[in-house]
């Protein structure tokens, strides 16, 4: 144990601006953070565009390191994906979210569905569906509390396997959303083959929806295609009122973004739900 601490200190004493060194440090520290429960989950509300009702919240992992400060998931999730730690992080997130759902329900709150990000490496794991099933059972959750967000990078080369797994999740009662839609490749092929309930339009299209005619036309087409296939559409990264106006015109269903709320720690997320209840 003393040796371990020694090593940790040595790492801190170094300049860690070099990206490789930083990566090594983060990898080491992330393992520790997971063991010591130094991660947390924030929740970002998702609202019905027409009525403003809270239809869901996306769970987003947060890591506040004692010395290094806030480390963005955009930085550490790819590292965890690379070394496999993402599987443990994913399980932890599901348990943590379940814990909060239970607490909120005990308080009498109307808890909407909670969206959880699933990395390709987690999804591809042979035991993935079983693991999910046992956590849901163990935490006495209703599977319909959850939406799993997957991305296009989940593996087009093994389409049959992906479809089987998604169907297994849906049989349990979990809904499936396709995240960051339009950012990757094979998008339409995915929609055609995968049993998806919700399409999330990538922020990059929402950013330009008022000023860039291409973004506007693409967003409009994505909404039409999704609706035609019986899916709901979420616009992510909504930051301005004029974006909401455009999305209303296009009959987009759900919005999520800083304009409505940043991701909130659990207590503030509960307050958000409480206030929304009274509306
Ligand atoms: P994502 O799944 O696309 O999540 C949306 C990201 O956009 C979040 O960043 C959120 O805070 C941010 N965001 C939401 N609304 C706005 C907005 O209006 N403007 C701007 N500029 N940003 C907005 P975050 O929390 O830093 O997460 C980054 C990525 O890390 C996520 O992208 C997701 O891919 C990954 N991630 C986060 N939490 C988890 C997790 O628990 N598991 C896995 N596997 N990945 C996660
Ligand atoms: Ca997401
Ligand atoms: Ca996204
Ligand atoms: Ca995104």
Per-residue pLDDT reduced to its tens digit, 134-152: 999 999 999 999 999 999 8
Ligand 1: which atom is nearest the Cα of residue 238?
18
Measure 203 CA to ligand 4 centroid, in angstroms.
6
Looking at residue 1, what is its pLDDT?
59
Measure 60 CA to ligand 1 centroid, in angstroms.
6
Is the model's pLDDT at 277 over the cut of 80? no
User: Radius of gyration over alpha carbons of the chain, in Å?
Assistant: 20
Looking at residue 157, what is its pLDDT?
73
Tell me the pLDDT tens digit for each residue of 36-87.
989 999 999 999 999 999 999 999 999 999 999 999 999 999 999 999 999 9
Take residue 277 and report the two structure tokens written for it. 């209840």
* Mean pLDDT to the nearest integer, 198-213: 97
Looking at residue 185, what is its pLDDT?
73
Mutate to test the pocket of ligand 1, among 59, 60, 204 (most ligand atoms within 8 A of CB): 60
* Ligand nearest to the backbone CA of 60: 1
Spatial separation of the C-alpha atoms in residues 113 and 174, rounded to whole Å: 10
User: Poorest-confidence range of 7-11, 45-49, 204-208?
Assistant: 7-11
Is the model's pLDDT at 13 over the cut of 60? no
Question: What ipTM did this prediction achieve?
Answer: 0.98
Helix axes 266-278, 86-106, angle to 10 degrees: 40
Pick the residue whose CA is nearest to atom 19 on ligand 1: 237
Is the model's pLDDT at 196 over the cut of 80? yes
Residues with CB under 6 A from ligand 1: 44, 60-61, 72-74, 77, 86, 90, 93, 117, 119, 179-180, 237-239, 257-258, 263
Three-class secondary structure assignment of 143-204: HHHEEEEECHHHCHHHHHHHHHHHHHHHHHCCEEEEEEECCCCCHHHHHHHCCCCEEEECHH
Looking at residue 258, what is its pLDDT?
98
154 band by pLDDT with thresholds 50, 70 and 90:
confident
Q: Give the three-state DSSP class for 257.
A: coil
Is the model's pLDDT at 159 over the cut of 90? no
Spatial separation of the C-alpha atoms in residues 232 and 132, rounded to whole Å: 24
The pTM of the full predicted model, rounded to 2 decimals, is 0.93
Is the model's pLDDT at 3 over the cut of 70? no
């Amino acid at each position: 144990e003393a040796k371990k601490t020694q090593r940790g200190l040595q790492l801190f004493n170094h300049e860690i601006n070099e990206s490789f060194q930083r990566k090594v440090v983060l990898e080491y520290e992330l393992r520790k953070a997971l063991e010591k429960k130094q991660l947390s989950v924030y929740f970002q509300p998702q609202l019905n565009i027409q009525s403003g009702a809270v239809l869901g919240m996306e769970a987003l992992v947060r890591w506040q390191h004692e010395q290094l400060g806030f480390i963005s998931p955009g930085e550490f999730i790819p590292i965890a994906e690379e070394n496999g730690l993402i599987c443990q992080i994913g399980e932890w997130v599901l348990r943590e979210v379940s814990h909060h759902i239970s607490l909120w329900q005990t308080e009498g709150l109307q808890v909407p569905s909670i969206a959880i990000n699933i990395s390709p490496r987690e999804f591809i794991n042979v035991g993935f569906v079983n693991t999910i099933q046992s956590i849901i059972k163990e935490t006495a959750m209703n599977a319909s509390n959850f939406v799993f967000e997957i991305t296009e990078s989940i593996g087009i080369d093994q389409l049959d396997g992906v479809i089987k797994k998604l169907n297994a999740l849906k049989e349990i009662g979990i809904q499936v959303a396709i995240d960051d839609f339009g950012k990757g490749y094979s998008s339409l092929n995915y929609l055609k083959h995968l049993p998806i309930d919700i399409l999330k339009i990538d922020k990059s299209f929402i950013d330009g929806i008022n000023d860039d005619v291409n973004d506007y036309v693409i967003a409009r087409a994505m909404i039409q295609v999704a609706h035609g296939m019986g899916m709901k559409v979420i616009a992510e990264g909504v930051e301005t009122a004029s974006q909401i106006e455009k999305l209303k015109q296009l009959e987009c269903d759900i919005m999520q973004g800083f304009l409505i709320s940043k991701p909130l720690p659990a207590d503030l997320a509960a307050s958000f739900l409480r206030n929304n209840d009274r509306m």
